[in-house]
Amino acid sequence: MTNLKLAGMTALTAASLSVIVATGANAAGALAIGYPESVSKAGFAYNNKTTGEARDAALEACRTTQAAPASAKSLCTIVGTFRGECVAIAMDPKAGTPGVGFAIAANKDVAEARALAFCAATAGKNRQDACVIDKSACDDK
């Protein structure tokens, strides 16, 4: 079941994403985000045996990818867990722009569409059409 805590998200300057993959019949996934005012950090994990393992892997991915400063990595927190669903992250690829969005949904197309819509909402008036999918993946069903 999806559990998202998105209400307090602020506009972001940049996003990066890490994917940790493990296989298992009882797949579980999680999404972690760290976002100070000037930069963001994201990581997700899928196909883990338990939700706890997925949460740990997503936090590790968020905290260890080299594409963000320590200020973003230290703020990494789980914003969603999922089982048998898909996750997507969209961003404005131009450096220094605020557009970024993420979503968890029943299928990849819906997750990507929602992530793009969320990115457009944070991108600013002149950058709404610049958002592209950065990464997406689906948990085994």
Closest by CA to 32, choosing from 48, 12, 54, 14, is 54
Q: Note the pLDDT of residue 30.
A: 83
Domain boundaries defined on the chain: 17-135
Edge-to-edge order in the sheet of strand 77-82: 17-21, 41-48, 28-34, 77-82
Between residues 129 and 141, the one the model is more confident about:
129
Between residues 25 and 110, the one the model is more confident about:
110
Find residue 89's DSSP bridge partners.
102, 135
pTM higher than the cut 0.95: no
Q: Note the pLDDT of residue 40.
A: 55
Report the chain's mean pLDDT, rounded to a whole number: 76
Q: Give me the mean pLDDT over the 89-118 stretch.
A: 91
- Write out pLDDT tens, residues 51-103: 999 999 989 888 887 766 777 778 888 989 999 999 999 988 887 788 889 99
d(Cα 21, Cα 139) in Å, to the nearest integer? 10
Between residues 43 and 83, the one the model is more confident about:
83
CB 33 within 8 A of CB 41: yes
- From residue 54, alpha-carbon distances to 15, 51, 95 in Å are 20, 5, 30
CB 41 within 8 A of CB 3: no
